[in-house]
Amino acid sequence: MENSKKILLVYYKLFKPGGVAKVLTNLANSLSEDGYKVEILLLMKERVHFYPLNPNIKVHNIDTFSHWAWKICEFNVKHLRFIPKIRNINAYIYHIGVFLMLKNWINKNQQNYDTIISAWYKLSSFLSLNKKANRKTIAWEHVTYQTGGILFNDILRRYYKNLKGIVCINSPAINYYQKFNKTYFIPNIIGEPFENQPEINFENKENLISFVGRLDREKNVISLLEIFKEANIPSDWKLQIIGDGNEKNNLEKFVEENQLKNRVIFHGTKNSNEILELLRKSKIFGFTSLKEAFGNVLVEAIFCGNVVISYDCNYGPSDIINENIGFLINLNNQQAFKTALEKLINDKSLMNKMAQDSISYSQEWKNEEILKKWIKII
């Protein structure tokens, strides 16, 4: 079906795996397949996209690293490292260049689009100041509403009142942003290959606990490893960790020091099809993140018939997990997490029932229902 509306999505990059890159690609593909004319503006020079993008989608690139603001950042890194918080200062300087280049491009091209969807709060803030484009711009919020510091949170966020609306992916964000503008709760599109995978044979699943995500301090995988080490569960159960990041060496060191090398598997970065196959083998998904905005991987795990055990961090897991399909654990309560894990593994009938309920529940997160919500507001 051909649709005359033309949509522009704005973000930094699509060449690395990541939650925002994935859901932006899914939304762009879904809108394009539904007949909309979709284009994407990226704020880095052209690179190969990590997630497959519909060939009908046109991509524009602005090389923000060519701006004089970035040249100042490079000088600072080379010569002024001794200055406290120079990285934070550089982030603000770099975004002067982003603001100016984005403003210039939008002013020249905004008339070509019916709706602009900004996928990051800093870009949404800049677009809220642009009188030519703000009334057709939707802020799509992917981080907690407390993010942004003095400039973006305390000063610029009030200008969200100028926008067409604000899309939130968790309940606390809705409560916060509705004082500025119209807000819409729209969960992230998970899409393929998770939605329409072959039927899962639970007999083929292995004694596997999974984690998928960045290996950094925020994702707090060390806590999952500590729980796995202490849990009173059969030794044939293994933990597979899918992802990469700056904490990987520390995690591998912990595994080696605690004689877990035969029970913990590090898979590194995998594409969506590879993640699908790994999660289809898995029975339990463990999530010890300290902070989320939504938690795409939780829904992916549910699509694959995994029972989810997750810290109830701000924000996201509580909007996804209910008592029929998993366990929400108070943040950093390793004992309660361990108890839930042991209970699940030692009660096969409970695990099978929750896994089956996960598959049924996953239908609520299908693309078609979520896309309808987007179409209503664009």
**357 and 322, same structural domain?**
yes
Residue 258, in any domain of the structure: yes
Q: Of residues 373 and 292, which shows the higher confidence score?
A: 373
Residue 328, in any domain of the structure: yes
1 has a pLDDT exceeding 90: no
pLDDT tens for 19-54 read 899 999 999 999 999 999 999 999 999 999 999 999
Amino acid at 200: I
CB 282 within 8 Å of CB 252: no
Does a cis peptide bond (omega within 30 degrees of 0) precede residue 361? no
How do strand 165-168 and strand 6-11 relate by DSSP bridges? unpaired
**247 and 124, same structural domain?**
no
- What mean pLDDT is predicted for residues 4-18? 93
CA angle 43, 270, 242 (to 5 degrees): 110
Q: Band the pLDDT of 144: cuts 50, 70, 90.
A: confident
146 has a pLDDT exceeding 80: no
Mean pLDDT of the chain, nearest integer: 93
**97 and 11, same structural domain?**
yes
Tokens representing residue 202 in the block? 């639970």
The region of weakest confidence among 66-80, 141-155, 197-211, 307-321 is 141-155
**157 and 41, same structural domain?**
yes
Tokens representing residue 192 in the block? 């393929």
Q: What CATH number is associated with residue 315?
A: 3.40.50.2000
Helix (H/G/I), strand (E/B), else coil: 120: coil
What is the pLDDT, as a whole number, of residue 47? 92
**223 and 149, same structural domain?**
no
How large a percentage of the chain has pLDDT more than 90? Answer: 78
Residue 341, in any domain of the structure: yes
Query: How many structural domains are present in the chain?
Result: 2
Domain that holds residue 163: 6-190+367-377
CB 111 within 8 Å of CB 47: no
The tally of CA atoms less than 13 A away on the side-chain side of residue 166 is: 30
DSSP assignment string, 142-210: -S-TTTTHIIIIIIIGGGGGGSSEEEESSHHHHHHHTTTS-EEE-PPP--TTTTTPPPP-GGG--SEEE
**83 and 54, same structural domain?**
yes
Residue 197, in any domain of the structure: no
- What mean pLDDT is predicted for residues 303-314? 95
**326 and 371, same structural domain?**
no
236 has a pLDDT exceeding 90: yes
Amino acid at 83: I
**320 and 175, same structural domain?**
no
Residue 1, in any domain of the structure: no
Name the β-bridge partners of 285. 210, 308
Residue 196, in any domain of the structure: no
Residue 195, in any domain of the structure: no
Q: Of residues 144 and 207, which shows the higher confidence score?
A: 207
String of b and e for 82-105 (b: at least 16 CB within 10 Å)?
eeeeeeeebeebbbebbbebbbee
78 has a pLDDT exceeding 90: no
**274 and 162, same structural domain?**
no
**184 and 284, same structural domain?**
no
What is the pLDDT, as a whole number, of residue 2? 61
At which residue do the structure tokens 């044939």 appear?
236
pLDDT tens for 183-227 read 999 999 888 899 989 999 998 999 999 999 999 999 999 999 999
Residues in the chain: 378
- Separation of first and last alpha carbons in the chain: 16
Residue 325, in any domain of the structure: yes
**373 and 284, same structural domain?**
no
**247 and 167, same structural domain?**
no
The whole-angstrom separation of Cα 356 and Cα 305 is 7
Residue 54's closest CA among 9, 16, 19? Answer: 9
Residue 247's closest CA among 290, 214, 293, 277? Answer: 214
Cα separations (Å) of 210 from 83, 109, 129, 363? 42, 45, 43, 21
Q: Band the pLDDT of 263: cuts 50, 70, 90.
A: very high
CA angle 321, 269, 43 (to 5 degrees): 90
